[in-house]
Structure 1
Amino acid sequence: MLIGIIGLGKMGGNITKKLLKNNHTCAVFDKNRTNIKNIEKKGAIGAKSLKCLVLSLSSPRTIWLMLPAGKITEKIILKLRQYMGKGDTILDGSNGYFKKDIKRSEKLVKRGINYIDVGVSGGIWGLKRGYCLMIGGNKKIFLKKKYIFCNLSSNKGYMYCGKVGSGHFVKMIHNGIEYGMMQSYAEGFDMMKNIKKTNVFYKHRYKLNLYDISEIWRRGSVIESWLLDLISVSLANDVKLKEFNGKVNDSGEVRWLIQTALEESMPLEVLTTSLYVRFNSRNYNRYGNKLLSAMRKQFGGHLEHFED
């Protein structure tokens, strides 16, 4: 099948490569011409503009967007509306806000364009491991595009979550849980690294090897996970994490999660605190915050390097 893909960054580039490996033909566009040239070497068909991309696809067209959520995605969809027609489908793989999905879909449906929101997890490892996909939208359209999700995921790691917005809603919750898990690991390792000399344990302890601890916890422990695997990789490279400055960014989804919880008068103690810790990290340099940055780099390629 011929699929159009817009956005060839870390995620979009790998998604294109995975589709190409599964014998799909991919027409691609990115504002960075170098990204297009690099993916053309893998067998994709590069387009010079959004219009050229759309015209290169036969009806009914399928276009996957892998762009940052917000203004950029909104701008591109508005442009695509000019060129796409009845029966065409837009798949939005950004970490979008589910409320905006609903409004966006209503506008596209008036022109006969289908809209599917896809929450994508797997980061830069998705090419090798397969992606976890959470999908919302019209179920009939989901079933027609099921082959795409099947080829991108691993072990049937895709799910139809419900009507439009459901995919991004579930991904929003997923990212909140991810924040909480990361924060738990960060605080635990931070304590082992920085326990005060006045503590009785400090006076009698051997020097703790954080890398060895991460490795042993990966072997049968109840807290073993892929995040712990990535921690181990980071500590193997540099247990002091000198590469990172301890300032941890947030990509926005958990802010929406907290807003939604407030609307529902629902307490989310751990998830709210994990977001606030990231805010606070921009003022204080702690080992645990460096570990958060290291995890973000390992699974998503997010760069938060040390700065003087």
Structure 2
Amino acid sequence: MNKYDFGIVGLGVMGRNLLLNIADNQFAVAGLDLDPEKVASLQAEAGAEHQIHATTDAATFVGLIQQPRAIMLLVPAGKPVDSAIQSLLPYLEKGDIIIDGGNSYFPDTDRRFTELQAKGIHFFGMGISGGEKGARRGPSLMPGGDRQAYERLRPIFEAASAKVDGEPCVEFLGNGSAGNYVKMVHNGIEYGIMQLLAETYDLMKKAYGLPTGTIQQAFEQWNNAELQSFLVEITSEILKRKEENGAYLVDLISDWAKSKGTGKWTSQNAMDLQVPIPVIDAAVNMRDMSKYKPERIEASKSLIWDQGQTATADINEIKEALQFAILVTYAQGLAQLTVASETYNYELNLEVVTKIWRGGCIIRSVALEDFRKAYDKNPALRNILLDENIGQTVSKLQKSVRNVVKTAVEKGIPAAAFLNALTYFDAYRSENLPTNIIQAQRDYFGAHTYERIDREGTFHTQWD
């Protein structure tokens, strides 16, 4: 008893793989699951080379772990997290640590943090990115909670995480729900980039008339240059897969997309914070649009646009447009983290955030090292587009994105993420926006007042 370094509750795909990962790094790990088959399967896979003990009994499980106990929950977000906590509490003592490793909504994490703090239990919300393979071989880990209690967890998390240039892709991020919040925005950025890649594929196929094999080769080449990233890489792999009859598998997959809510949460909270993230908003909206399949089929027969001749494809121009839009998507998510950190007292360091995103996680890309350097040089950077080097890069790419967007509009191809990336860029670089007319309209119909640029104060006009 009390000889195991770490415990995991929930031995599904993520829990099982992360537990084996930690055990690979010479830590003794205990597992708890209510399903006897999962317990037996893990115990059989563990073998003699791992020090693993799995059980279905909460009291036995807690008793295995050395004090202060460190226990991670890898169960579905929502009520299952609260249920798991309640099942453990009778056996825990002051100073013990619970880590929620799921995609919990950050206000729930704050509530649990406060409730458990009153009982003397430390609580962490930790984002985990990398999927099944990442959990097994090295994910990006995003913990937030109690800084002092993190020292109990540090050796285990650093050993299990992905590594970039020998640096572990994990570090304490900030107070309270900081870890879950950073993971939420990570997922929002993920939504945006995935939508951009889908739109790129769609434009190349429909607007430029390129065959799937040529599109696949382009993605593969891009992944060996400026667009090197996990999502570009897997898109290239997806476009390779063929059925036995020679048909590309991607052409046989339904366009009815699903989601688990983290993108929606990112958009909703950005609106609460009044931070514009239009690419991410567009990505959420387009997943919603995909669910209206019967209506879209009907509309396709009556709402018709004559596309004319196929556009001439410039592969490099398409690549530059995609690079522009991806950089702008990162900029929006990072700007949201900046405002959220101030609003929620997270004390985030975006140099650290971008550093731990470089490996293991779904949005890892070569661009993140440039972001890390920018925040290292200027920690007070409000928007990554204000960094001289990144700003120059995006500015040089804008001609290409304008041409690609123009082609999409002319051909009637939906490109909401590209359009919103360009709109954000143009709005952000505008010294004056036409919202002065909105101020006047609000004052006209509601006497909401307005400010002037030629004198101090608040004004109202009797317009009629």
- Spell out, residue by residue over 1:34-69, the C-alpha distance to the aligned partner (whole angstroms, 9 max, x if none): 222221121421112223211232432111111111
**TM-fit CA distance, 1:31:** 2.8
**TM-fit CA distance, 1:242:** 5.1
**TM-fit CA distance, 1:140:** 0.5
Q: What is the CA–CA distance in structure 2 between the aligned matches of 1:240 and 1:191, rounded to whole Å?
A: 19
Q: CA RMSD in A?
A: 2.1
Which of 234, 237, 262 does residue 253 from structure 1 map onto? 262
The one-letter code matched in structure 2 to 1:16 is L
Q: Which residue of 1 aligns with 2:40?
A: 37
- Residues 90-169 of structure 1: matches in 2 within 5 Å? 90-127=98-135, 129-155=137-163, 156-169=168-181
- Closer, same or farther: CA 189–276 of 1 in aligned 2, 3 Å: same
Q: What is the CA–CA distance in structure 2 between the aligned matches of 1:90 and 1:67, rounded to whole Å?
A: 13
Structure with higher strand content:
1
Q: Which residue of 1 aligns with 2:321?
A: none
- Aligned partners of 1:115 and 1:137 also within 8 Å: yes
For residue 169 of structure 2, give the secondary structure of its aligned residue in structure 1.
strand
Aligned residues: 279
- Residues 196-215 of structure 1: matches in 2 within 5 Å? 202=209, 209-215=214-220
The one-letter code matched in structure 2 to 1:54 is V
- Closer, same or farther: CA 183–109 of 1 in aligned 2, 3 Å: same
- Aligned partners of 2:9 and 2:74 also within 8 Å: yes
- Residues 46-65 of structure 1: matches in 2 within 5 Å? 46-65=54-73
**TM-fit CA distance, 1:194:** 2.6
Q: Does the alignment pair 1:187 with 2:195?
A: no
The one-letter code matched in structure 1 to 2:236 is S
- Spell out, residue by residue over 1:141-191, the C-alpha distance to the aligned partner (whole angstroms, 9 max, x if none): 112210111011122100211111000111111111111011000011012
Q: What is the CA–CA distance in structure 2 between the aligned matches of 1:207 and 1:7, rounded to whole Å?
A: 41
For residue 293 of structure 2, give the secondary structure of its aligned residue in structure 1.
coil
Q: What is the CA–CA distance in structure 1 between the aligned matches of 2:189 and 2:233, rounded to whole Å?
A: 17
Which has the higher mean CA deviation after the structures are superposed, 112-121 or 234-243? 234-243
Unaligned runs of 5+ in 2: 243-247, 297-361, 363-464
**TM-fit CA distance, 1:129:** 4.5
The one-letter code matched in structure 1 to 2:105 is Y
Q: Does the alignment pair 1:28 with 2:36?
A: no
Q: Which runs of 4+ in 1 moved over 3 A?
A: 205-208
Identity %: 30
- Closer, same or farther: CA 185–55 of 1 in aligned 2, 3 Å: same
Which of 219, 225, 228 does residue 224 from structure 2 map onto? 219
For residue 237 of structure 1, give the secondary structure of its aligned residue in structure 2.
coil
Q: Which residue of 2 aligns with 1:264?
A: 273
Q: Which residue of 2 aligns with 1:17?
A: 20
**TM-fit CA distance, 1:278:** 1.0
Unaligned runs of 5+ in 1: 196-200, 287-298, 300-308
- Spell out, residue by residue over 1:264-287, the C-alpha distance to the aligned partner (whole angstroms, 9 max, x if none): 22221111110111111122399x
The one-letter code matched in structure 1 to 2:170 is Y
Q: What is the CA–CA distance in structure 2 between the aligned matches of 1:50 and 1:282, rounded to whole Å?
A: 41
The one-letter code matched in structure 1 to 2:113 is S
- Aligned partners of 2:20 and 2:136 also within 8 Å: no
Which has the higher mean CA deviation after the structures are superposed, 266-275 or 230-239? 230-239
Q: Which residue of 2 aligns with 1:66?
A: 74
Q: What is the CA–CA distance in structure 2 between the aligned matches of 1:207 and 1:82, rounded to whole Å?
A: 58
**Bigger radius of gyration, 1 or 2?**
2
Q: Which residue of 2 aligns with 1:3?
A: 6
Q: What is the CA–CA distance in structure 1 between the aligned matches of 2:100 and 2:278, rounded to whole Å?
A: 30
- Aligned partners of 1:81 and 1:108 also within 8 Å: no
- Aligned partners of 2:127 and 2:180 also within 8 Å: yes
- Spell out, residue by residue over 1:1-50, the C-alpha distance to the aligned partner (whole angstroms, 9 max, x if none): 52111112221111011011011111111233222222112142111222
- Aligned partners of 1:122 and 1:131 also within 8 Å: yes
Q: Which residue of 1 aligns with 2:434?
A: none
Q: What is the CA–CA distance in structure 1 between the aligned matches of 2:61 and 2:283, rounded to whole Å?
A: 41
- Closer, same or farther: CA 212–139 of 1 in aligned 2, 3 Å: same
**TM-fit CA distance, 1:112:** 1.1
Q: What is the CA–CA distance in structure 1 between the aligned matches of 2:253 and 2:37, rounded to whole Å?
A: 28
The one-letter code matched in structure 2 to 1:12 is G
